[in-house]
């Protein structure tokens, strides 16, 4: 059989340095556990802008489509703040989501026991926290038309964006949430603003109908987005799986991540539809950004990138054992007291990006 193909897109800022630690793990898995992966490296985001004048080349999209999975770093660089919308580094991740139809972003917000004190929240509120946010990522106000800025007769301007959701867009992401819930706490909370937005009302109706039809064994609740933001702070452990649209998901998943106090630890997966061949496009990325302020200093936390690769092994390559091996190694390293700067606390041993990567490999 053909080798499994991985497209590796380190991107900007700390992306390349944390990705380097993953590549070492990939090599070790090849040697020690017979996992043969063919890696292709490409530039995206600001790095691609600098080299090629665009944040995402069509060649890279083609490679992403061919690959068995995409491992993404992070994009974003204040240097490119002035460029137009479609040329910003962020257009790379938005473009990949759209071109590969990556509609379901899975964002676990998990508290690692040794890091419980890193949270802003009181430890008893977050110890053992394990939420999965399923965010729709190819629809909603991110891509809806019409959009743009128009100049009015009097010289003033008008900015417009359109939130659109269709029955099928809502159904497919809700299905992902229900399926995941069955493997976890069996509870889905669907989040919208049905009290002020028709797109939210349709969202609620479609999720409710799908639940009745195919997932009545799963507990379903509904929550307004403003209330959800509050409940995540008040009592986050009430949630199991949250399913929501693109824009609410953007805010709520970042909020949920921050509850854990350790952004540098959290991976994510974004999945496309299952194709006839059984294949499914998927992109894995840490939830943290490119952190330009600390880039190049060798102090960034590589664990979210490493755990994103573990998710890739689990979901795309069905290598559960290898995924679990990595996750256990990460857990051991934390228990042993090693910490990068972002998760440092008293009495622990501070290490840099490379040392942290090496420690995980050592544990494996």
Write out the catalytic residue numbers.
142, 193, 226, 250, 254
Shortest distance (Å) from residue 246 CB to a copy of itself: 9
Q: Which of ligand IPM, a copy of itself, none has residue 213 at its interface (CB below 5 to 8 Å by kind)?
A: none
93 scored as a contact of ligand IPM (CB under 6 A):
yes
| 238: its two tokens | 């009430």
Alpha carbon dihedral 248, 185, 305, 41, in 10-degree steps, equals -80
Task: Give the CA dihedral 123, 341, 44, 42, nearest 10 degrees.
Answer: -110
Q: Is 135 annotated as a binding residue?
A: yes
Residue 93 interacting entry, from ligand IPM, a copy of itself, none, C-beta within 5 to 8 Å by type: ligand IPM
Q: Which of 198, 226, 320, 321 binds ligand IPM (CB under 6 A)?
A: 226
State the Cα–Cα distance between residues 84 and 92, nearest whole angstrom.
13
Long-range pairs for 197-203 at CB < 8 Å and ≥24 separation?
Answer: 197/163, 199/140, 199/163, 199/164, 199/165, 199/245, 200/245, 202/165, 202/167, 202/170, 203/165, 203/170, 203/245
| Contact with a copy of itself (CB under 8 A) among 113, 164, 274, 324 | 164
Q: Does 250 bind a copy of itself (CB under 8 A)?
A: yes
Shortest reach from residue 292's CB to a copy of itself, in Å:
13
94 near ligand IPM, rule: CB under 6 A: yes
**196 binding ligand IPM? (CB under 6 A):** yes
Phi, psi of 5 (to 5 degrees): -100, 130
350 assigned to a ligand binding site? no
Q: Which does 198 bind (CB under 5 to 8 A by kind): ligand IPM, a copy of itself, none?
A: a copy of itself
Task: For Cα atoms 264, 252, 272, give the angle at the middle one, nearest 5 degrees.
Answer: 80
3-class state of residue 192 by DSSP: strand
Rg (CA), the chain: 20
Residues making up the chain, counted from first to last: 364
Cα distances from 106 to residues 23, 37, 198, 252, 266, in angstroms, run: 23, 24, 25, 12, 11
Taking CB atoms, the residue at the shortest distance from ligand IPM is: 90
Detail the residues annotated as belonging to a binding site.
Answer: 97, 107, 135, 226, 250, 254, 289-301
Using CB under 6 A, list all residues that contact ligand IPM: 90, 93-94, 195-196, 226, 250
Using CB under 8 A, list all residues that contact a copy of itself: 85, 88, 90, 94, 120-122, 125, 141-142, 144, 147-149, 152, 156-168, 193, 195-203, 206, 225-227, 229-230, 233-235, 247-248, 250-252, 254-255, 257-259, 263
Detail the residues annotated as belonging to a binding site for Mg(2+).
Answer: 226, 250, 254
């Amino acid at each position: 059989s053909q080798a499994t193909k991985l497209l590796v897109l380190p991107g900007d800022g700390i992306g390349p340095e944390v990705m380097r630690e993953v590549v070492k793990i990939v090599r070790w898995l090849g040697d020690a556990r017979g996992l043969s992966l063919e890696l292709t490296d490409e530039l995206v985001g600001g790095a691609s802008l600098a080299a090629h004048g665009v944040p995402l080349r069509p060649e890279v999209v083609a490679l992403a489509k061919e690959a068995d999975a995409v491992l993404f770093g992070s994009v974003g660089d204040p240097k490119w703040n002035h460029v137009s919308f479609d040329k910003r580094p962020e257009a790379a991740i938005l473009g990949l989501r759209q071109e590969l139809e990556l509609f379901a972003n899975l964002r676990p917000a998990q508290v690692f026991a040794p890091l419980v004190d890193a949270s802003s929240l009181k430890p008893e509120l977050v110890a053992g926290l394990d939420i999965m946010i399923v965010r729709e990522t190819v629809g909603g106000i991110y891509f809806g038309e019409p959009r743009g800025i128009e100049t009015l007769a009097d010289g003033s301007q008008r900015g417009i964006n359109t939130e659109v959701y269709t029955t099928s867009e809502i159904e497919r992401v809700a299905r992902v949430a229900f399926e995941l819930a069955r493997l976890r706490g069996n509870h889905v909370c669907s989040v919208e603003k049905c009290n002020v937005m028709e797109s939210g009302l349709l969202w609620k109706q479609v999720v409710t109908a799908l639940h009745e039809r195919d997932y009545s064994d799963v507990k379903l609740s509904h929550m307004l987005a403003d209330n959800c933001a509050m409940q995540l702070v008040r009592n986050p452990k009430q949630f199991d799986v949250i399913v929501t649209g693109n824009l609410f998901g953007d805010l709520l998943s970042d909020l949920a991540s921050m509850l854990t106090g350790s952004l540098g630890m959290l991976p994510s997966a974004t999945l496309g539809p299952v194709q006839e061949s059984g294949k499914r496009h998927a992109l894995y990325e840490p939830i943290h950004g490119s952190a330009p302020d600390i880039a190049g200093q060798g102090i960034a936390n590589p664990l979210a990138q490493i755990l994103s690769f573990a998710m890739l092994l689990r979901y795309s390559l069905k290598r559960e054992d290898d995924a679990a091996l990595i996750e256990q190694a990460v857990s051991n390293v934390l228990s042993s007291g090693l910490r990068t700067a972002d998760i440092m606390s008293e009495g622990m041993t501070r290490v840099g990006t490379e040392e942290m990567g090496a420690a995980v490999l050592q544990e494996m």
